Amino acid sequence: MPFLSRRLTLLATPMVAASIAPARAQAPSILLFRVVSQRDEIIIGLTPAELAALGSGPEVERIGRRLASEGQIGAWRYTVGRAPDGSTRYGPNGRISILRQDTYRIEPYTSALPVAPPPS
């Protein structure tokens, strides 16, 4: 019996790995950034298309260049909330405008929680 169990495990391992690989290969639908100002800090999210519209280079530099050139940038504000299934996640909480005068620092933000895409 142990031989059969070991053989099933060896057969199942490639199938599990194949089902996980496509999930890892997908690009994120939203990238999060922490924006720090004198008064507070917030988490914002931009889609890959929104980031591509800002030009080339590292993401935070693209955002910084847009703030410097135009004085503001629009983004999705992200907050921790509940998903429809009851789990905790980061989700969009409306569009906001970030002004150059109020911003001290923009940095990438990696969430330990799942991140929901913005509404279409």
pTM of the predicted structure, to 2 decimals: 0.74
pLDDT digits (tens, 9 = 90+) for 58-92: 999 999 999 999 999 999 999 999 999 999 999 99
CA distance 96 to 86: 26
Q: For the chain, what is the domain count?
A: 1
Radius of gyration of the chain (CA): 20
Q: Which position has the token pair 């924006």? A: 35
Whether residue 101 lies inside any domain: the answer is yes
**So what's the pLDDT on residue 2?**
53
Whether residue 65 lies inside any domain: the answer is yes
CA distance 84 to 64: 34
Whether residue 5 lies inside any domain: the answer is no
Whether residue 17 lies inside any domain: the answer is no
What does the angle CA 23 – CA 25 – CA 29 come to, to the nearest 5 degrees? 80
Of the candidates 117, 114, 110, 118, which has an alpha carbon nearest to the alpha carbon of residue 88?
114
Rounded to an integer, the average pLDDT of 16-36 is 63
Q: Which domain holds residue 56?
A: 28-108
Whether residue 4 lies inside any domain: the answer is no
Q: Which position has the token pair 């620092």? A: 105
Whether residue 7 lies inside any domain: the answer is no
**So what's the pLDDT on residue 19?**
40
Reply yes or no on whether the pLDDT at 93 is more than 80: yes
